[in-house]
Structure 1
């Protein structure tokens, strides 16, 4: 059986323990379980991909559910990259957004350096450009 056929895509929040572990595996900051659970609970949409009982990829959407959406925590276990998992995640997210976002809504994300072309496949573009200034963020 190939990896692709073993994978189980769930349109549901991952378990908090799995979320925390995947964050660490991809090199992101550790977060305590209580804060992680609050963050997951306040998301609009989740997609989690498991190989049996191991979370190997996930993504979620946060925002107000009407006008403003933010694609967040697109993460794929480094051992599972190159098998189309990121595409599965983004396809599920784009399906959700196509139904939830009204005309004129803004959908944003922050791409990991070097992954911009991945998101461009789904219609996301770099800022600045001819009409829009730099996107900005603040880390606390």
Structure 2
């Protein structure tokens, strides 16, 4: 990892989580949604710029602790992209799953176009045609 950057276990602050999502092109979320994410994830890590103190990359695992784990919120501030931070974050999340989850864990993620090469280079493969990611958005 670059000098001046450190990977920390745990989530960034709420404001940093919301900023990193929006800055990296992920859909913006409300503070109440972010609060639930920061307390309800199975694991979380983030990268901090030591000089400025700001969070510049992050990722988390959603999981039941038994067999199913989903990587989410893999985000890097555009000013810090192309430095291997996404690879470092995903690598840490996968290492954490290997260390703490059962040996036959099932790990998924939704790969947006900008991250596909990274995920493929780390061993992820498309799940189709066996299964296809789907979404349901209730009108509440």
| Distance in 2, Cα, partners of 1:55 & 1:38 | 19
Greater mean deviation of Cα atoms: 90-99 or 29-38: 29-38
Q: What is aligned with 2:7?
A: 9
| Distance in 2, Cα, partners of 1:116 & 1:25 | 19
| Distance in 2, Cα, partners of 1:21 & 1:88 | 20
Pairing 1:20–2:18 present: yes
Query: How does the TM-score come out when normalised to structure 2?
Result: 0.88
| Distance in 1, Cα, partners of 2:20 & 2:91 | 20
* Structure 2, unaligned runs of 5 or more: none
1:3-58 deviation line (CA, Å, top 9, x unaligned): 81010110111111110111111122222222201111000101110113111100
Pairing 1:81–2:81 present: yes
Q: What is aligned with 2:68?
A: 68
1:91-140 deviation line (CA, Å, top 9, x unaligned): 111110102332332111001114222112222101214xx132323345
Runs of 4 or more, structure 1, over 3 Å off, are: none
Q: How does 1:1-140 map to 2 (within 5 A)?
A: 4-52=2-50, 53-129=53-129, 132-140=130-138
| Distance in 2, Cα, partners of 1:76 & 1:111 | 15
* Structure 1, unaligned runs of 5 or more: none
1:56-99 deviation line (CA, Å, top 9, x unaligned): 10000001012110000000111111111011101111110102
Q: Secondary structure at the match of 1:118?
A: helix
| Distance in 2, Cα, partners of 1:115 & 1:29 | 15
| Distance in 2, Cα, partners of 1:76 & 1:62 | 19
